[in-house]
Structure 1
Amino acid sequence: MKNPRSCSQAELFSMINQVSFAVNDMTLYLDTHPDDDDAMAYFCENTALRKELLKEYAARFGPLTLDSDSENCRQCWDWVMQPWPWEGVC
């Protein structure tokens, strides 16, 4: 995987989408296979990666989610004033 710090906004957004899909897919799988240790490890690894990517995106381009907003926002709802990912650049 490419270094997130050297990615463009569109590349970083794409990486977040891919990892988010993996996390969501593993959530569904683990609902029916809760004792699969390999799946749980994969889920934890991708959840941590997703959190890191969201933090990087928020620091550089503004937050995508409310949970990635808390460290980067000076006023409570400033994040909504940022350009949305689909506006222009992405």
Structure 2
Amino acid sequence: MKQAPNPGADRYALMEKIQMVDFALVELTLYLDTHPQDSQAIQQFNQLAVESRDLKTMYEKQFGPLRQFGGSFSGYPWNWGDSPWPWQL
């Protein structure tokens, strides 16, 4: 028997991917602060930055706004109050 799709599980899985990529970006930022000439780390940082942006865009298309301060657009009507908030997942 095939299980029905679980949109909540999809939301959690996508958020977990976003958190993993963003964690790696923070770590690479700290590393690059002390190793600014490491071209391989810079390349990895840039690849992960694109991946983070794409994952967040995908999340927003499926589940609503994620980034504040102009990083995300609102639907109509204003949907920033819709839950759950990303930190509530």
Give CA deviations for 1:14-33 in whole Å, capped at 9, x if unaligned.
Answer: 00000000001101111111
Gaps of 5+ in 2: 1-8
Structure showing greater Rg? 2
Which of 59, 62, 72 does residue 69 from structure 1 map onto? 72
State TM-score, norm by structure 1.
0.76
Which of 42, 53, 56 does residue 55 from structure 2 map onto? 53
Alignment partners' CA distance in 1, 2:51 and 2:77? 26
Moved over 3 A (4+): 74-77
Compute the displacement of 1:10 (Å).
Answer: 0.5
Partner letter of residue 61 of structure 1? F
Which of 27, 50, 73 does residue 29 from structure 2 map onto? 27
Alignment partners' CA distance in 2, 1:77 and 1:33? 43
Alignment length (residue pairs): 80
Kindly indicate whether the alpha-carbon contact (under 8 Å) linking 1:55 and 1:68 is maintained by their aligned counterparts in 2: no
Gaps of 5+ in 1: 1-6
State TM-score, norm by structure 2.
0.76
Identity percentage of aligned residues: 35
